[in-house]
Homo-oligomer: A and B are copies of this chain.
């Protein structure tokens, strides 16, 4: 079975770990979000790709969900001693190696997809991880700072400001001119199932869908497309998805996110049991819906969610 998963960071990575356990023989391709990539200290940092790679490759800091296990922060401390900005982004000593290798390969002319493949040679994530695009796309967030509207990098909004100010718009700068990375459209066209894990619908999956051709390839794939709600009981399971949902005019609820994707894209949508009341509304929008436990408390819970998604995909297919 060929499964394609659109993934952001922590939520996507943990779901993927469950999926690998639920479907150990499946051929899994992950289309990773690169909209939150950032250039820091002359290095190219790809937080979502790395979170997937480290999580599936056994190098993740389990507690925080991002960054490396057994990490130290001496280099970062020294950069601060030099007074170098920004100081709000937490790059660890081990993590820096990934960005150095990536930056060196990019500088040598390799596209990000080839670089990601090379990095995965080491980590052996057990999936094929492809960035959504080899082109530079950077998610910017419009916020008011000192009474003035400004567009800041998503990471500055998310990490430095902790999404503490209203986001008026979220724009994947560069997306319109971008192309899917090699392998993305092919994977979608050959997929048996396409899954949207409980990732951020705006700045993770929404950014991937903003790459021209990807949304169409999903809609045209002719295979079940099943998503899992990142919102449980009207609040994001993790992170601050509600903040960016507001920016795109979508209420923070399991049903509203399904409607935001729409029946042109989604065939099935899983909501948490606490959102059972949303099933009717989602189905009224032309999307099959089911309420199942959606809290990824551990690997087994993630595997159960993945199994539910695959089972639901079969049901959706045969209808």
Interface residues of A (CB under 8 A from B): 41-43, 71-72, 74-79, 81-84, 92-94, 96-98, 100-101, 103-104, 107, 119, 122
Contacts and interface: CB of A to CB of B under 8 A. Distances in A.
B75 A122 contact: no
A101 B119 contact: no
B75 A97 contact: yes
Nearest to A108: B42
B42 A82 contact: no
A150 to B, nearest CB: 23
6 contacts: A41-B104, A42-B103, A74-B74, A75-B97, A81-B122, A84-B104
Contacts of A100: 41-43, 75, 79
Contacts of A41: 100-101, 104
Contacts of A79: 97, 100-101
Contacts of A72: 72, 74, 93
A77 B59 CA distance: 14
A-B pairs with lowest CB-CB distance, top 6: A78-B97, A74-B93, A93-B93, A42-B104, A75-B93, A78-B94
